[in-house]
Chains A and B, each alone.
Chain A
Amino acid sequence: MAHASATQRDTASYRWWGVELIAFLFRRKGGKRLTITDVITYLFLILGTVVMFFPVLWLVMSSFKPITTLYQTPPTFFPYHPVTVQVPGYPEPLPLVDVRQADGTVKRMARVGRVVGIEARVIDLNAPHEPPVRVRLENITPVQEIRFDLTNYTTALERFPFGVYLRNSIVITISATALTLLINSMAAYALSKYRFRGRNVIFLLILSTLMVPLAVIMIPVFLVISRVGLAGNLLGVIIPPAATPTGVFLLRQYMLTIPDELIEAARIDGATEWRIYWRIVMPLAAPALAVLAIFSFMWRWNDFLWPLIVLGGRSDLATLQLGLQSFQGELNVQWDLLLAMTVLSLLPVVFVFGILQKYITTGIASTGLKG
């Protein structure tokens, strides 16, 4: 990793090529030397990255572990599976173990039956028909291999109505987002491009509801929802949250920048108001609509309290988030399956984040929308 200016530097401190490499990677842009503040910055950021990423990585790795090694202490990072062997005379495959013999050598054998107390029974692979020998547990190490096994995933999909949850989540997310884009942009168009009686009152009303979280009105909301027959109905999760004040505000601010002359010209050409909205304003507001679409997707996909109140205990209508919560709330949490389901419900968000990261970060930085 020789650098053009390498000779000009204090060669003593860069003698070791490893240092040279690290220095190259972490040198500031423009080839300036690292200062102590830079080093601290990098250490802080690397530590932070580990704290932010590692739990997710740990979740993914754990989701591939079989129940036999999932609770192993100390746990391993990679998913280890016990290696089994088919032995004549035994219907089930037996786990392989390394057994330390009295003379200090290690012999590969197969374990039989359950572990009782501090002893286990093993059989010789070369003489499977001889009766098992009792060995103390401390002389036994199970043979394991790293394997990314999908058993947890397939079992979880069979055992739980994951498909139903997934369908509910997708239906809610897509239709609520479409509805949000439509009605928010309509309201934003009227509020930004028309002068009419009551406009300011309506705008202020919308702005003030920005500050009303569901947490403080959940009881009357539940009443209203059940009165209009939307309790225990997917529409109850789709329609009410679609009228986001944030969306109206964001789109209105953007539409204010669209020149009025365009609209006037279209009006002179005989376009109806609806056509102006749909053919001229909507395409021009596409960037803001895209930002709102991404956020609406995130909001609805991750929503918890609203579906919890509206859908109640109906498991056939539960979203992914509600499904996950109900399984983790059970008395005997089946972590092997729960972990696999958690990973599956995390994938769409990772996918969206991966491709649309720029929109999301600039959207937040410029509008303060919550992800």
Chain B
Amino acid sequence: MELTTVSDKPILLLARWLKYVLSLPVMGILYVLDAFIGRLERLIGQKRMPYLFVLPNMLIFSIFILLPLILNFVFAFTGGNSIVPANRPWVGLGNFERLFACSDIWDISTCREDVFFFAVRNTFLFVLVEVPSIIVLSLLVALALNRDIRLRGFFRSAFFFPVLLSPVVVALIWKWMLQTRGGLINTILGFFGIQPIAFVLDGGWMMFWAIFVSVWAQLGFYALILLAGLQGIPPVLYEAAEIDGASELQRFWNVTLPLLRPTLLVVLVLSLIRGVQMFDHVYVLTGGGPGTATLLTVQYIYRTAFEPPNNWGMAAAVSLMLAAVLAVLTIIQLILNRRQFETV
């Protein structure tokens, strides 16, 4: 093959041009800032410049992330319909008590806020099926893509492509696929002599499709992480195993799997974190329905807060509990990351 320089390819020229155009607004702002900040630097002195550099980012952080984090507690422990904290009466654990007020703890329908328990149960079910599916399937895809095969780049793109689609577009694509009339899934079922199924009206089916769509949309992302993990395994180990007469399956069990374990754990925790806070895909695909069959925790929070009667306090209480779950998962992830870092 003839050697070509990088700039010969029109696609790369286009990419460079795009990079140039995208950087134009930044450059413009920088020119304006240059004159201004140069003077400011003389004024405040070199030593204080790092504070100036972190200032814009920290300002936005504090106002829109740190402050809300604290305010969330205020909301969770106060009641009333006002969103202004000053007008909200202190209710202590009242919001939590209301959420867990059940006359029979084994029967959800006796709870005052039964929808909350439906949402929690749905989220459990969702995560319980989604996470293992993601792990098994993305591992299979990564293993297949790691083999010495033709068209590897094409296959990798094919699996990765849906990751970039917006959740709304993904949900609409599948909503169209699932139509009773003119939907592709029902057409395929028709080939096997199965009558069209009105998926939208069936809670069990919609839960299945919600999980399916979420796996479909994220598979490529996790496969890519696992693929990077697989490529980090030194080939020498495989060669040694081959010399020792290990079969392909033995090599997988005794070389690939143990060495891929840290990456697999990262995928496990990441997909757990994402699964617990799943919202957009399912919200657009099913709207939580039929009934509350696919209502997940985050949608419950959104619904409770932003739809009348705007129970901000109860929604914040649920957010706090969700945050606690996420914090535990994140700490596990941090410990895992550290261990992975130490073994490298």
Inter-subunit contact A73/B182 (CB<8 Å): yes
Inter-subunit contact B150/A29 (CB<8 Å): yes
Stretch at the interface among B97-105, B109-117, B153-161, B235-243: B153-161
Contacts of A175 in B (CB 8 A): 25
Inter-subunit contact B144/A45 (CB<8 Å): yes
Q: A196-B50, A211-B326, A321-B168 are in contact. Are A217 and B69 (CB under 8 A)?
A: yes
A249 to B151, CA, bound (A): 34
Beta-carbon nearest neighbor of B33 in chain A:
A274
Determine whether B136 belongs to the interface, using a CB cutoff of 8 Å to chain A. Answer: no
Q: A298-B164, A355-B18 are in contact. Are A219 and B319 (CB under 8 A)?
A: yes
Determine whether A174 belongs to the interface, using a CB cutoff of 8 Å to chain B. Answer: yes
B 148-187 to A, binary, CB cutoff 8 A, 1 in contact else 0: 1110001111111111111111001111110101111001
Determine whether A315 belongs to the interface, using a CB cutoff of 8 Å to chain B. Answer: no
Q: Is chain B's interface secondary structure helix, strand, loop, or mixed overall?
A: helix
A62 to B177, CA, bound (A): 10
Determine whether B91 belongs to the interface, using a CB cutoff of 8 Å to chain A. Answer: no
B 271-306 to A, binary, CB cutoff 8 A, 1 in contact else 0: 000000101100010010000000000100110011
Contacts of A44 in B (CB 8 A): 140, 144
Inter-subunit contact A361/B224 (CB<8 Å): yes
How large, as a class, is the contact surface on chain B? 35 or more
Inter-subunit contact B305/A219 (CB<8 Å): yes
Q: Which of B22, B30, B68, B266 contacts A220 (CB 8 A)?
A: B68
Q: Which of A30, A209, A220, A278 contacts B71 (CB 8 A)?
A: A220
Within 8 A of A (CB), among B17-53: 18-19, 22-23, 25-26, 29-30, 33-34, 37-38, 41-42, 46-47, 49-51, 53
Contacts of B199 in A (CB 8 A): none
Inter-subunit contact B50/A194 (CB<8 Å): yes
B 3-23 to A, binary, CB cutoff 8 A, 1 in contact else 0: 000000001001100110011
Determine whether B342 belongs to the interface, using a CB cutoff of 8 Å to chain A. Answer: no
Within 8 A of B (CB), among A185-217: 186-187, 189-191, 194, 196, 199, 202, 205-206, 209, 211-213, 215-217
Beta-carbon nearest neighbor of A77 in chain B:
B184
A184, A190, A226 interface centre (most CB from chain B within 10 Å): A190
Inter-subunit contact B69/A324 (CB<8 Å): no
Contacts of B158 in A (CB 8 A): 48-49, 52-53
What is the distance, in angstroms, from B311's C-beta to the closest C-beta of chain A? Answer: 10
Q: Which of A56, A199, A223, A226 contacts B50 (CB 8 A)?
A: A199
Contacts of A371 in B (CB 8 A): 160, 163-164, 221
Stretch at the interface among B54-62, B126-134, B254-262: B54-62
Beta-carbon nearest neighbor of B65 in chain A:
A209
Beta-carbon nearest neighbor of A223 in chain B:
B83
Q: How many residues of A contact B (CB 8 A)?
A: 114
Question: How many Cβ-Cβ contacts under 8 Å join chain A to chain B?
Answer: 317
Determine whether B312 belongs to the interface, using a CB cutoff of 8 Å to chain A. Answer: yes
Determine whether B64 belongs to the interface, using a CB cutoff of 8 Å to chain A. Answer: yes
Q: A49-B158, A52-B162, A187-B57 are in contact. Are A275 and B69 (CB under 8 A)?
A: no
Q: Which of B58, B63, B148 contacts A29 (CB 8 A)?
A: B148
Contacts of B23 in A (CB 8 A): 289, 293
Contacts of A338 in B (CB 8 A): 172
Contacts of A297 in B (CB 8 A): 22
Contacts of B119 in A (CB 8 A): none
What is the distance, in angstroms, from B204's C-beta to the closest C-beta of chain A? Answer: 21
A72, A206, A302 interface centre (most CB from chain B within 10 Å): A302
Beta-carbon nearest neighbor of B185 in chain A:
A55
Beta-carbon nearest neighbor of B143 in chain A:
A41
Q: A45-B144, A273-B46 are in contact. Are A342 and B14 (CB under 8 A)?
A: no
Contacts of A181 in B (CB 8 A): 26
Determine whether A83 belongs to the interface, using a CB cutoff of 8 Å to chain B. Answer: no
Contacts of A56 in B (CB 8 A): 161-162, 165, 173
Inter-subunit contact B315/A365 (CB<8 Å): no
Stretch at the interface among A128-136, A146-154, A239-247: A239-247
Q: Which of B61, B71, B305 contacts A206 (CB 8 A)?
A: B61
B47, B169, B248, B277 interface centre (most CB from chain A within 10 Å): B169
Q: A216-B72, A325-B168 are in contact. Are A278 and B30 (CB under 8 A)?
A: yes
Contacts of A189 in B (CB 8 A): 53
Contacts of B161 in A (CB 8 A): 52-53, 56, 353
Beta-carbon nearest neighbor of B191 in chain A:
A74
What is the distance, in angstroms, from A247's C-beta to the closest C-beta of chain B? Answer: 9
What is the distance, in angstroms, from A360's C-beta to the closest C-beta of chain B? Answer: 7
A interface list, Cβ under 8 A from B: 25-30, 37-38, 41-42, 44-45, 48-49, 51-56, 58-59, 62, 70-75, 174-175, 177-178, 181-184, 186-187, 189-191, 194, 196, 199, 202, 205-206, 209, 211-213, 215-226, 228, 239-240, 242-243, 245, 248, 272-275, 277-278, 282, 289-290, 293, 297-298, 301-302, 304-305, 309, 321, 324-325, 328-329, 335, 338-339, 342, 345-346, 349, 352-357, 360-361, 364-366, 368, 370-371
16 further interface pairs, Cβ-Cβ under 8 Å (given A52-B161, A191-B54, A220-B70): A25-B150, A29-B148, A45-B141, A186-B57, A199-B50, A206-B61, A209-B66, A211-B327, A211-B330, A217-B69, A219-B316, A220-B68, A223-B68, A248-B57, A329-B287, A355-B11
**5 sample A-B contacts, Cβ–Cβ < 8 Å, listed by A number:** A41-B149, A213-B326, A217-B323, A219-B315, A321-B168
B interface list, Cβ under 8 A from A: 11, 14-15, 18-19, 22-23, 25-26, 29-30, 33-34, 37-38, 41-42, 46-47, 49-51, 53-54, 56-58, 60-61, 63-72, 74-75, 83-85, 140-141, 144-145, 147-150, 154-169, 172-177, 179, 181-184, 187, 190, 196, 216, 219-221, 224-225, 227-228, 248, 266, 270, 277, 279-280, 284, 287, 298, 301-302, 305-306, 312, 315-316, 319-320, 322-323, 326-327, 330
Which A-B residue pairs are the 6 nearest by beta carbons?
A220-B71, A302-B166, A220-B68, A190-B53, A243-B60, A187-B57
